[in-house]
Structure 1
Amino acid sequence: MKESLVKQAIEVLENNHQDGGFTIPAQGLYPFQWKWDSGFIAIGYAHYDMGKAMQELASLLNAQWGNGFIPHIVFHYDSDTYFPGPDFHRSQLHPLASKKLRSTGLVQPPVLGFVLEKLYEVSNRNPTVLGFIDDQIDKVYENHVYFYENRDINNEGLVYIYHNWESGTDNSPMWDDIWPTMNPPEYEFERKDTTHVDPSQRPTKREYDHYLYIIEIAKQYNYDDAKIAQHSPFLVLDPLFNAMLLRSNEALIKLYGLLKRGEGKAQYLKEKHALGVQGMNTKLYHESSGAYLHFDLRSNTLLPYISSSSFAPLYAGVPSGERAQQLIQTLKEKFGGEDKYLCASFDPTHEKFNPKKYWRGPVWINMNWIIYQGLKRYGFEDLATRVKNESIELVAKHSFYEYFDCRKVNPDGDSNAYGGNNFSWTASLLIDFLNED
């Protein structure tokens, strides 16, 4: 089975690879290059075509802005199958935006540091790969500096996101408490995503009004971070986003050591990293929930919801051993019943849980990969093995879909797989899971 699944996964990646040297997440539904998708996609390529893995990252970093910002979507060409596109986002409003490539003015979780580290490990420490890392690492470092200098408004090592799309968990119930604080207009636009997949599995039209409204505010201030921090109605400290930043800090520090250079850069990251770990444990951990939660900087409160993002800090080594045990207890009690696949993207015991709707409950293979790495880091081998094996089982049963129903027995009688099929990071991370042995 392993050989057959790997072959199918490679076919998905090859079919989604574009002439410009980057890979789209899925045909039709996502026709451009997404930041954290490309990071995960490079991991899969590394197992069978390191040249493509390096090319994937280089093409993304080629769109970096002059201030270190790396956008969440790079528009390498025009396409009429996606909204909102480059003409809506207007990245050129920022004076330091890339002059070569159009993009959004949003970010996504900063995974590139640990992806570079992973490429080196998969290559068996190949000198050519280390040379590639030497060429690219300073760009990733500058991205981290961008976050700490522009988005850590309280100097606590925690960086904000100003849009739900920056979290990567687009329509999570996490944001439901924020939308009532806004009153966006009813925008006139043509949705493209709902022509490719079942509209019931996607965010609503009214949710999209909120999404567009936040971007309009950012555009009003030419994507100036200081002004966005003042005026955006959405300003959140996200445990997933910050955990990815911290884990990538660790990787960059290690890689600078291997390169025998960048001592000053590594020291800067070490100081910010220590501050961030402390900040996550004092500000984002909620004792009675037994989980890391999102913090709303506008209301100055924790958002009272547990999601797969709550467990991402394990991958970055954030919790103490005792706190990690608490996290595992929460994971088992709320997400880990024998009738469920690990790990749903939102608390299956909560009334807002929806097992079919995008980030409101389905299992995502990239989040499983992150949680798996965190479980291994803390020695929870049995649970890690379960997450890996169930991820493989979902794909083997249902193909390379975007996300999956966490219920092992679906009472609705339909497929347990939703969103786009032949999804790149599902294929890529399956390759990594299958090569884990």
Structure 2
Amino acid sequence: MEALEKKAKEVLVNNFKEGFSIPCAKLYPFQWFWDSGLIAIGFAHFDMEKAEQEIETLLDAQWGNGFIPHIIFHTETDTYFPGADFHQSNLHPEASKKYRSTGMTQPPVTGFVLEEMYRISKDKPATLKYIETVIDKVYSNHNYFFTKRDPQNEGLVYIYHNWESGTDNSPIWDDIWATMNPPEYTFERRDTTHVDASERPSKREYDHYLHIIEIAKEHNYSDEKIAELSPFLVQDPLFNAMLIKSNQSLIALYKLIGNNDDKVEQLQKWQDKSVKSFNNKLFDEELGAYIHYDLRNEKPLRYLSSSSFAPLYANIPSKERAASMVNIMMDKFGGDQQYLCASFDPTSERFNPKKYWRGPVWVNLNWMLFNGLNQYGYNNIAERVKQDTIDIIANNGFYEYFDSRKQAHKDGNAGYGGNDFSWSAALYIDLLKR
């Protein structure tokens, strides 16, 4: 364990550039929104200064309207497609003048990350002082979501691109691709030169991805126009659960700081509305868990994925619903031959245990599940999630994602995507300390 923890710290230090971390060398050479947050949790255990810099650099790229982009292009490199020239973030009138970025966002983890940093801190007064310098920017990000991304004013925000979900090529999106027929784009992929193409999204999937961005660019990344015209408009349980969890954290932190009654009151209003709508709209009684909702075509997307269980981490379900979710998870995802928790339903014909978000295990979702299960008192299952995560890392190394089938791990070649992956290392460190 000690050798592995030392290695995890080395991964983090090696991937830290000038004030920010890259997820891993070559494959992801820039700063990613939710990666940065989760990486800061790992750094908080042994280098709080780097954890603070990570968040500061991320928030430094915030747009005038509170939006935080999913990729910030700090350097010029042609090892990644689509890069800054393709995204043209400057089309939006309030985009950052200092940094080039995408015009998409990612799950808003920053609120709960600040609270995690405070929990981990050995000098809580100093950490709270730091949090005081950045928390209003995070509040502004939440304000952006609730005022710009909730067209029906129901407390649930939309994502307009699968990359915003964080679960890039989930089989859930197949239903949406079936409603679209984008042009065939000519472009040179970079990811498949670094890792096996069989582990990555297909060329045709990329056509869909680029087409959605082209529509957003055509309208200068206007939220109103995107809500009106984007063929992809989804209320995602993982994304909204992260927002709700971060809301909770901002409320707790503002109360610690004091003199922020107006913000606490506003956050609480958003929170009450969000949790109510989340439970009313996104819980599927028949499936016994939460699902995605296709806002463009006004229909539920009735699939089980690791995102279906993420609301446990945000304290969203009642005790009864949590029990149903845990039963479903153990029944479908938790068999003797499976590591917890596959990113997509292993009993589905769309399941692929090697392909990105179509079935592999991801450390970040397992970390959320571990915390969520403990919050609801499912300590034994939480312990299994933790042990499964530690075992697959010990067996394969700090990969981006891992095969969910136990038999695939016999030769230690069941880690896929990028190696020496930052959030796998960061959250491994945090799991060890819990």
Shorter-normalised TM range: over 0.9
CA offset at residue 167 of structure 1?
0.1
The residue aligned with 1:281 is 279
Q: Which letter maps to 1:349?
A: T
Structure 2 equivalent of residue 15 of structure 1: 14
Aligned counterpart in structure 2 of residue 233 of structure 1, from 209, 231, 234 = 231
Distance in 1, matches of 2:417 and 2:205, equals: 18
- Mapped partners of 1:378, 1:65: distance in 2: 37
User: Structure 1 pair 4/414, CA: closer, same or farther in 2 (3 Å)?
Assistant: closer
The answer as to whether partners of 2:199 and 2:354 remain within 8 angstroms in 1 is yes
Distance 1:125 1:230 in 2: 48
**3-state DSSP class of the match of 1:161?**
coil
Cα distance between partner residues in 2 of 1:103 and 1:366: 23
Change (3 A) 1:42 1:413: closer
What SS does structure 1 have at the residue aligned with 2:309? helix
* 1:22-421 equivalences in 2 (<5 Å): 22-124=20-122, 126-410=124-408, 415-421=413-419
Percentage of identical aligned residues: 62
Partners of 1:152 and 1:263 in 2: CA distance: 24
Q: How many residues align?
A: 434
Q: 1-side partners of 2:371 and 2:260: how far apart?
A: 27
Q: Per-residue deviation at 1:413?
A: 6.9
Rounded Cα–Cα distance in structure 1 between residues aligned with 2:351 and 2:285: 22
TM-score normalised by L of structure 2: 0.99
TM-superposed CA distance for 1:410, in Å, is 2.2
SS at match of 1:6: helix
SS class of match (1:306): coil
Secondary structure at the aligned position of 2:72 is classed as: strand
- Looking at structure 1, the residues matched to 412 and 366 of structure 2 have their Cα atoms a distance apart, in angstroms, of 23
Task: For 2:110, give the aligned amino acid.
Answer: L
Question: Partners in 2 of 1:412 and 1:205 — Cα distance?
Answer: 31
Query: Secondary structure of the equivalent of 1:409?
Result: helix
What is the identity, as a one-letter code, of the residue corresponding to 2:72? V
Quote how far apart the aligned CAs of 1:210 are.
0.3
Aligned-pair CA distance for 1:409: 0.7
Shift of 1:338: 1.1
2: CA distance, partners of 1:266 / 1:348: 41
Secondary structure of 2:26's aligned partner: coil
Tell me the CA shift for residue 414 of structure 1. 7.7
Gaps of 5+ in 2: none
- Residues 201-251 of structure 1, C-alpha deviations (whole Å, 9 max, x = no match): 100000000000000000000000000000000000000000000000000
| Aligned residue identity for 2:294 | D
Q: Contact 2:403/2:409 (CA < 8 Å) preserved in 1?
A: no
1:282-325 residue CA offsets vs partner (Å, 9 max, x unmatched) = 10000000110000012211102100000010111110000000
Between 256-265 and 106-115, report the one with greater CA deviation: 256-265
- TM-score of the superposition, structure 1-length normalised? 0.98
Partner Cα distance (1:315, 1:183) in 2: 37
Displacement of 1:412: 10
Give yes or no for contact 2:291–2:302 (8 Å, CA) kept in 1.
Answer: yes
- Cα distance, 1:181 vs structure 2: 1.2
Which amino acid is 1:8 matched to?
K
For 1:17 and 1:261, the matched residues in 2 are separated by 35
Structure 2 counterpart SS, 1:361: coil
Separation of aligned partners in 1, 2:12 and 2:123: 24
TM superposition shift of 1:127: 1.4
Are the structure 2 counterparts of residues 294 and 413 from structure 1 closer, same or farther at C-alpha, using a change threshold of 3 Å? same
Structure 1: how far apart are the matches of 2:222 and 2:245? 27
Is the Cα contact below 8 Å between 2:352 and 2:359 reproduced in 1? yes
Query: C-alpha distance in 2, partners of 1:124/1:259?
Result: 18
d(CA) in 1 for partners of 2:278 and 2:343? 20
Partner of 1:5: 4
CA distance in 2, matches of 1:21, 1:199: 32
Q: Distance in 2 between matches of 1:274 and 1:125?
A: 33
CA distance in 2 between partners of 1:52 and 1:277 (Å): 33
Partner of 1:302, secondary structure, is strand
Distance (Å, rounded) in 2 between the aligned partners of 1:75 and 1:407 = 36
For residue 26 of structure 1, give the secondary structure of its aligned residue in structure 2: coil
TM-fit CA distance, 1:125: 5.3
Q: Whole-Å Cα distance in 1 between the matches of residues 137 and 123 of structure 2?
A: 21
